[in-house]
Structure 1
Amino acid sequence: MNSAVVRNLLVRGMLAGLAAGLLAFGLAYLIGEPNVDAAISYEESHSHEHEMELVSRALQSTAGLATAVLVFGTAVGGIAALAFCFALGRIGRFSPRATAALLAGAAFATVYLVPSLKYPANPPAVGNPDTIGKRTTLYFLMIALTVLLAIGATILGRRLAGRLGNWNATIAAVIAFIAVITVAMVFLPAVNEVPDAFPATTLWQFRLASLGIQVLLWSSFGVIFGTLAERVLNPKPAAAPAPGTQAAAAH
């Protein structure tokens, strides 16, 4: 794949990520922000300290949320596009659309789903401010481990395919990934700073909303980018002019 094609796919990946981020922002605003407001109300009702807001809540829930989600979507779209360029043709004889869909699914699982099993999402108002650095480090460490182990499982599956066949090799690689990631989850420290009196319904709805936002982000990216990549890699031939048009042009 030459540099011009990679550059075109990178641009389209960022555009697809931006479009997916826009959809995710709409969902986050509709179903995520009400739970954030509920968590903040709980914190304010149980805290005797009232700090002055540097940024208003209205601005945080609109422009601030939109900026964060759109920047995130654009950035991961570009990274996913580069990963697509590397993966195309190396993970099987899949079309660009199928490769984009598989890549989006793998990204969702490794970047969000598996790490959230160990460190699930919590509303911003929940948690000890003094441990935010530790919690952030552990979460990103979990993401890095998941991504590296997923890459290792993919390599293992390819090496076993010649002896076991594609289906059995895939099963073996998945089992190996689950086993190693389970060990990692057991040995990594747990974090549970949700107050006992925190409303369980608010926490559940926030985590469900977080899951839905990520599903929408990655699924829409896979569809949009797959369509754009298909047009770059497999362009439709130009329609031949009708015979009558050619004759008229000759005269």
Structure 2
Amino acid sequence: MNSATVRNLLVRGMLAGLAAGLLALVVAYFLGEPPVDSAIAYEEGHSHEHGVEAVSRTMQSTAGLSTGVLVYGIAFGGIAALAYCFALGRIGRFGPRASALLLAGAGLVAVYVVPFLKYPANPPSVGEADTIGRRTALYFLMMVLSVLLAIATVILGKRLAPRLGNWNATLAAGALFLLAAGLAYAFLPAVDEVPKDFSPSLLWRFRLAALAVQATLWTAFGLVFGVLAERVLTPGRTAGERRAAGGGGAGGPPRGRGV
């Protein structure tokens, strides 16, 4: 893939990330902010220290949230677009849109869901201040392990396919991924710092909201970026031809300006 194509995909990935960030922002505001407010109220009711806020809660939940999510979406879109450039043509004979959706789905599982199941998100007032560095390190370690295992799974599946067939190779590689992730779950230390009197329903709602935000971000990115990438990689096709090839199957990597 030439540098001009990579640059075009990078720009479109950032635009798709911005669009996905806007949708994720809506989900974060309506689903995530109410549990955060409840958690802050719990913290204030159980704390004897009442400092002055450097940034008001209103500013945090509006401008602060918007800036954080949108900047994250743009950066996330750029990184995902580069990963797409590397993966295109290496994960099977799929069209641009199908490849984008597959990459988004695999990224959601490897980057977020697998680490989330071991170290789920917690609202304010949950977790000791002295252990934040340790908890952050453990989370990122689990995320790195998950991503490496996902890459190894794809490589193993492709190597097993000639002998076992695509279906059996996928099942075998997927089983090894689950086994390796299970071993990581077993050997990495657990973190449980939820106060005993903290509302389980509030914790559940917060974690579901965090999962919904990430699912919205990755899914929206896969859908939007797939359309934008297809226009870069198959510029000579009509709209009907692009729709017919978008499902992958016999598509394969594009020629000329593609891989």
TM-score by length of 2: 0.90
How does 1:1-251 map onto structure 2 within 5 Å? 1-237=1-237
Aligned AA for 1:190? A
Paired residue for 2:243? none
The unaligned stretches of length 5 or more in structure 1 are 240-251
Q: CA deviation at 1:165?
A: 0.7
Q: CA deviation at 1:125?
A: 2.6
CA contact (8 A) 1:101 1:226 kept: yes
The unaligned stretches of length 5 or more in structure 2 are 240-259
Q: CA deviation at 1:208?
A: 0.8
Q: CA deviation at 1:146?
A: 0.2
Aligned AA for 2:205? Q
Listed one character per residue, the Cα deviations across residues 36-87 of structure 1 (whole Å, up to 9, x for unaligned) are 0000000110111112111111111111111111111111111111111111
Q: CA deviation at 1:204?
A: 0.6
CA contact (8 A) 1:104 1:219 kept: yes
CA contact (8 A) 1:20 1:220 kept: yes
Paired residue for 2:242? none
**Distance in structure 2 (CA, Å) of the matches to 1:7 and 1:86:** 13
RMSD, matched Cα: 1.2
Moved over 6 A (4+): none
Structure of greater relative contact order (alpha carbons < 8 Å, 6+ residues apart) = 2
Q: CA deviation at 1:119?
A: 0.2
**Distance in structure 2 (CA, Å) of the matches to 1:219 and 1:232:** 20
Q: Which has the larger radius of gyration?
A: 1
**Distance in structure 1 (CA, Å) of the matches to 2:17 and 2:138:** 26
CA contact (8 A) 1:119 1:191 kept: yes
**Distance in structure 2 (CA, Å) of the matches to 1:198 and 1:119:** 18
Aligned AA for 1:228? L
**Distance in structure 2 (CA, Å) of the matches to 1:116 and 1:23:** 21
**Distance in structure 2 (CA, Å) of the matches to 1:32 and 1:2:** 41
CA contact (8 A) 1:36 1:125 kept: no
Q: CA deviation at 1:174?
A: 0.3
Q: CA deviation at 1:237?
A: 5.0
Q: Secondary structure at the match of 1:211?
A: helix
**Distance in structure 2 (CA, Å) of the matches to 1:158 and 1:172:** 11
Q: Secondary structure at the match of 1:194?
A: coil
Aligned AA for 2:192? N
Residues 214 and 238 (structure 1 numbering): CA distance in 2 closer, same or farther, change over 3 Å?
closer
Aligned AA for 1:5? T
Listed one character per residue, the Cα deviations across residues 89-147 of structure 1 (whole Å, up to 9, x for unaligned) are 11111000000000000110011111011001110331111111111111111100000
**Distance in structure 1 (CA, Å) of the matches to 2:237 and 2:92:** 25
**Number of residue pairs matched?**
239
Q: Secondary structure at the match of 1:235?
A: coil
Q: Secondary structure at the match of 2:127?
A: coil
**Distance in structure 2 (CA, Å) of the matches to 1:236 and 1:60:** 46
Residues 238 and 125 (structure 1 numbering): CA distance in 2 closer, same or farther, change over 3 Å?
same
TM-score by length of 1: 0.93
**Distance in structure 1 (CA, Å) of the matches to 2:235 and 2:71:** 29
Percent identity of equivalent pairs: 68
